[in-house]
Amino acid sequence: MAGGTDLVAGANAAPAGVKARPKGGSFDRTEVWVDISGLKELRGIKETKTSLMIGAGAKIAELEASPLVRRWLPVLSAAIPHFASPSLRNMATIGGNAANASPCADAVCALCAEKAQVLLEFKGKRRKLALPALFKGPKKTVLRKDELIVAFEVPKWKHSGAYLKLGPRSYFGISKAAVAAALEMDGEKVRSVCIALASVAPVPLLAVKTANYLCGRMLNEENARTAAALVKTEVSPITDVRSEAGYRREMCGVLLERALNSIASGVSGIN
């Protein structure tokens, strides 16, 4: 563990020896935890010619304060203020946010839109995956036993972005639905686009069909409306204590249309 913000809370919710999350979790209060937050090899944000390398142990607050993140990762910058509270951002790590495999994770959704890859290591052997490929389902990843998330590699590409979240509160709330959009323009047309959604599928979802529709087209209100209608066909929300499936589906379209229009107006990260 590094931040432990979800791990400790989950374990404290169950009696000793009882699984805290029988449907998805794998820890209980009797397990031994190793604190790796002091490992400098897992910390820091480094810039290369083509990417940013973000250590898995980097605190969310460190990302929030980073000039490199603000310069190169507009979607992540827009998402971080929606991540829990300042006190939790001071403890939580980006690696933990991914390893927790929550469908509603704000930072993970934003990193998916930023085209991030995740670096995994086991006994000196590394492998690299596109971040969405890390997740198998709610609270489930493809991590092998004793495999560790060590870093995230995020490409540097010239794009604008927005992150919009629907929840019970503007901040410190779990999302009912969230949309992260990153677009690179070629004049008045979209050259490249990546759209990720949270809380509307078992895993952080890339809206591939919607992105393909937007590529090569003008970024205007008409195309934003069409994209909003299309994205509703790509999601698979559920009804739970936070929201109803039909409402979530409808709001995905609303949030994406607002995100695209905010990017078109030249304002990144409006909500």
What domains can you pick out in the chain, each with its CATH number? 44-155 (3.30.465.10), 160-264 (3.30.390.50)
Its pTM stands at 0.86
- Residue 214 main-chain phi, psi, to 5 deg: -75, -30
Predicted local confidence at residue 34, as pLDDT: 73
Predicted local confidence at residue 104, as pLDDT: 92
Predicted local confidence at residue 42, as pLDDT: 78
Per-residue tokens: 48: 């290369």
Q: Is the dihedral of CA 109, 113, 116, 117 positive or negative?
A: positive
pLDDT tens by residue, the chain, 271 residues: 565 556 655 555 555 555 545 444 555 555 667 776 677 777 899 999 999 999 999 999 999 999 999 999 999 999 999 887 777 887 789 999 999 999 999 999 999 999 999 999 998 899 999 999 999 999 999 999 889 999 999 999 999 999 999 987 766 678 899 999 999 999 989 999 999 999 999 999 999 999 999 999 999 999 999 999 999 999 999 999 899 999 999 999 999 999 999 999 984 433 3
- Considering just the CA atoms, what is the radius of gyration of the chain in Å? 18
Pair 129, 147: CB distance under 8 Å = no
DSSP string, 209-257: HHHHHHTTSB-SHHHHHHHHHHHTTT------SS--HHHHHHHHHHHHH
Alpha helix positions (H), 171-216:
208-214
Half-sphere exposure of 86 (CA within 13 A, CB side): 1
